[in-house]
Amino acid sequence: MFTVDVEQFGEKIEMELKEGGKDVAVTKENRKEFVQLFVDFEFRKQCETQLASLKKGFERMVDIDMIRSLLDSAELEEAVCGDRKLNFAELRDTAIYANGFTPTCT
């Protein structure tokens, strides 16, 4: 079914991913649509309220118009998230291993 179970205040609730979703079985033909709706629900709709609060707090601390005039979206993302190019060799070489872990642990 095009539904997802969520917990709200300790109670499990079934939510439809699309209108009439409780009556639509997931099949080989529509699985791509299900995955897209599920990902959209989990990463956007499920945390909409929290993201709005984060945005409101961020905008209280930072002049958004000034940031937009100084940085484009890619530069802002890099400033907030860091470089997307991960260097695992450098991480391994500079990590401090403890509690029995070594560079060869898997």
pLDDT digits (tens, 9 = 90+) for 48-85: 888 899 989 988 998 888 888 999 988 988 888 887 78
Residue 93 is assigned to a structural domain of this protein: no
**Residue 30: which pLDDT band, with cuts at 50, 70 and 90?**
very high
Domain assignment of residue 44, yes or no = yes
* pTM score, whole prediction: 0.49
Name the average pLDDT for the chain: 89
Please report, for residues 34, 42, 49, 75, 82, the alpha-carbon distance to residue 20 in angstroms, rounded to integers and kept in the order given: 13, 19, 24, 41, 41
User: Is 102 inside a domain boundary?
Assistant: no
Residue 97 belongs to some domain of the structure = no
Count H helices and E strands in the chain, helices first. Answer: 5, 2
83-102 average pLDDT score = 87
Q: Contact, 92 vs 102, CB < 8 A?
A: no
Number of domains in the chain: 1
